[in-house]
Chains A and B, each alone.
Chain A
Amino acid sequence: MGIRFQNVSKTFGDVAVVDDLSLEIEDREFVVLLGPSGCGKTTTLRMLAGLESVTSGDIYIGDERINDVPTQQRDLAMVFQSYALYPHMSIAENIAYPLRVRRLEKNERENRVMRVAKLLEIESLLNRKPRQLSGGERQRVALARAIVREPLAYLMDEPLSNLDARLRVQMRGELKRLQHQLGTTTIYVTHDQAEAMTLASRVAVMKKGRLQQFDTPLNIYNHPANRFVAEFVGSPSMNFIEGKIERGTFVSDSIKIPIDRPDSTGSMGIRPEHVHVSTTPQDGAIPASVYVTELMGNETFVFLSVGPHKIIARAPADFRAEVESKVWLLLETEKVHFFPKTKSTDYTE
């Protein structure tokens, strides 16, 4: 089912937690709300679930305005960060809870629980209590409880953040596969840009209650709308150098590169993979010195000093350079971003 936020705001006292948010999520889409803590992404999700009232604006599911529809009638399923499994019920009872509340027949209930348990490979856990389960198992049970009743949409609030790194990557893949299989609209909240990039069909980047950009992961990565988005998405983060453009050339105190933009002041941004490091002098290369190198195994991150600036470059795994040794940088000028300085901020207010 499609979901639409129209000029939605939420204020607590004088603080606008969500500020004039408009978002249109299509049926069967997997949308990730991405942003640092306090950006209003969880509040947005909770407003959709009906757990938080809407201060102004409208929320639609399909064509129905749901602002005043109570939570239990919205027919959504939510996976909480804490999983929120009912501690006094067995796993089977936990999964069956939404069905029991809907007064489904016992037989049908058991059938459905079994089907979902098989899908998520938790059949052997059905008779246990939540506290006897590991984090990953609880996560699966929470998912099972959400998908057991085929709701209009799934809402997920940082569902993977309590798992260890390896499990998180594994569950991430399974989530994506599951959503593909079920084809149900999913809205997923996270502060982890890697989750956003891998899971989403579209990512909504938020900061301080404002939507910064709503686009596909690739467009967010390649064409960030502002400096905040550019900095938040990508790891290691994009490099920024303050300076100005004068007649087709970006100029800062240590760098001069051609750039096809109108004159203005602001910051030039370039992703680490578009910075190439060479240990021998090159034509048009920028001299720099190695601050430190980090071996990642499959690649090497090179931290460089260019005058007063610190720049990170991605180099091949076999790249070797001593600390403080002199190197030369080639920037892929066609991949350079420029973010003009507007007012005093680098994001949409």
Chain B
Amino acid sequence: MRDRRKGILRTRLLAQAGVLLLALVAALAPVYWMLTISLKTEVDQFAIPPKWFSFTPTLQHYTDAFVTRSFGQYLLTSAIVAVVSTLFALVIGTLAAYALTRFRLPYHLDRKLSLWILSTRMFPAIVTAVPLFLMMRDLRLLNTKASLIVVYTAFNLPFVVWMMRGFFAEVPRDLEEAALVDGDSRLGALFRVVLPLVAPGLAATAVFCLIVSWNEFLFALVLTQTDAAMTLPVGIAGRVTQYEIKWGVMSAAGVVAMMPILIFALAMQRYLVRGLSLGAVKG
């Protein structure tokens, strides 16, 4: 009897492990493929049957991408655009979210405004691409980092507002009221009492904004065409030309593009988990 139960338990464990393994393979196979392509010579890339493990690695594509071509430049542009737009979105969005959770506006505007803000995320991004292109052209901001920073900030704002609204709502009002009675200003209470308490949430939100901005392709493609303003995703896609596809260079750039986000997300992992489950457990 006991042996049978043990057997069932083991089968279940194996099944669970099997499903997890399958999911893992599905998720990581493309990454592995990209990583190997970036290290293979062009001959090995197209070998049939594919060379999964045994090939002579080369860093040729990396030097090709970052020394010969302008991928270093793209990387820098991507980093500046992603970081600056994330900072803007966090500052503006956090203040907006705070106001929307804590102040009652006439005609229920506080609730309506929140919905309006969210609704800007409901239509497909491509709808705004052309108008944005025209606006940026008139403002003479085409092919500048500023145009991308403005667009990404705007694009990330609704997300920041809605995430932070949830986190702010978790902070008991008493705490801020105590701070006010203790003599602090609204802003002082926000910075000294409320923000430290929602820091994990802020970190989680920052990670998401950064990922979105870093990976963004559509607006970057429409708004930037020069090497000086191009971001990494657009730069990579640009290696697909009429005559050839530079798989090696694209993969090498892809691997590098993955790294900052990976490192940042790992560093923030502790906050990420806490931020996303904030309020789920009373503490």
- Nearest-Cβ distance from residue A147 to partner chain B, whole angstroms: 12
Q: Which residues of chain B come closer than 8 Å to A72, judged between CB atoms?
A: 180-185
A71 and B178 contacting across the interface, CB-CB below 8 Å = no
Cα–Cα, bound, A79→B183 (Å): 14
The verdict on B172 contacting chain A, using a C-beta distance below 8 Å, is: yes
The verdict on B118 contacting chain A, using a C-beta distance below 8 Å, is: no
For A101, give its contact among B174, B183, B196 (CB under 8 Å): B183
B197 and A84 contacting across the interface, CB-CB below 8 Å = no
The verdict on A88 contacting chain B, using a C-beta distance below 8 Å, is: yes
Chain A positions 55 through 74: 1 when the CB is less than 8 Å from some CB of chain B, otherwise 0: 00000000000000001101
Chain B positions 168 through 198: 1 when the CB is less than 8 Å from some CB of chain A, otherwise 0: 0000101101111111110010001100110
The verdict on A319 contacting chain B, using a C-beta distance below 8 Å, is: no
Q: Which residues of chain B come closer than 8 Å to A50, judged between CB atoms?
A: 180-181
Cα–Cα, bound, A48→B182 (Å): 14
Q: Which residues of chain B come closer than 8 Å to A80, judged between CB atoms?
A: 174, 177-178
Cα–Cα, bound, A75→B174 (Å): 18
For A88, give its contact among B179, B182, B183, B197 (CB under 8 Å): B197
- Nearest-Cβ distance from residue A15 to partner chain B, whole angstroms: 16
Cα–Cα, bound, A50→B179 (Å): 12
Q: Which residues of chain B come closer than 8 Å to A71, judged between CB atoms?
A: 177, 180-181
* Chain A residue nearest in CB terms to B181: A78
B172 and A84 contacting across the interface, CB-CB below 8 Å = yes
B174 and A77 contacting across the interface, CB-CB below 8 Å = no
- Nearest-Cβ distance from residue B231 to partner chain A, whole angstroms: 37
Number of interface residues of B (CB under 8 A): 18
Q: Which residues of chain A come closer than 8 Å to B181, judged between CB atoms?
A: 49-51, 71-72, 74, 76-78, 155
* Chain A residue nearest in CB terms to B171: A87
A51 and B197 contacting across the interface, CB-CB below 8 Å = no
B177 and A101 contacting across the interface, CB-CB below 8 Å = no
B180 and A82 contacting across the interface, CB-CB below 8 Å = no
The verdict on A138 contacting chain B, using a C-beta distance below 8 Å, is: no
* Chain A residue nearest in CB terms to B174: A84
A77 and B182 contacting across the interface, CB-CB below 8 Å = yes
Cα–Cα, bound, A86→B181 (Å): 13
Q: Which residues of chain A come closer than 8 Å to B196, judged between CB atoms?
A: 88
A84 and B175 contacting across the interface, CB-CB below 8 Å = yes
Q: Which residues of chain B come closer than 8 Å to A97, judged between CB atoms?
A: 179, 182, 184, 192
The verdict on A135 contacting chain B, using a C-beta distance below 8 Å, is: no
Cα–Cα, bound, A65→B178 (Å): 22
Cα–Cα, bound, A49→B178 (Å): 10
- Nearest-Cβ distance from residue B170 to partner chain A, whole angstroms: 12
Cα–Cα, bound, A74→B181 (Å): 8
Cα–Cα, bound, A76→B178 (Å): 11
A102 and B183 contacting across the interface, CB-CB below 8 Å = yes
A86 and B175 contacting across the interface, CB-CB below 8 Å = yes
Can you report 21 residue pairs joining A to B where beta carbons are below 8 Å apart?
A51-B177, A51-B180, A72-B180, A76-B181, A77-B182, A78-B177, A78-B178, A82-B172, A84-B177, A86-B175, A86-B178, A86-B193, A87-B175, A97-B184, A101-B182, A101-B183, A101-B184, A101-B188, A102-B183, A131-B283, A149-B183
Residues of A within 8 A of B (CB): 49-51, 71-72, 74-78, 80-82, 84, 86-88, 97-98, 101-102, 131, 145, 149, 155
- 3 tightest CB-CB pairs across the interface, nearest first? A84-B178, A84-B174, A98-B182
4 additional A-B residue pairs with CB within 8 Å, beyond A97-B184, A145-B178: A86-B193, A98-B182, A101-B179, A101-B188
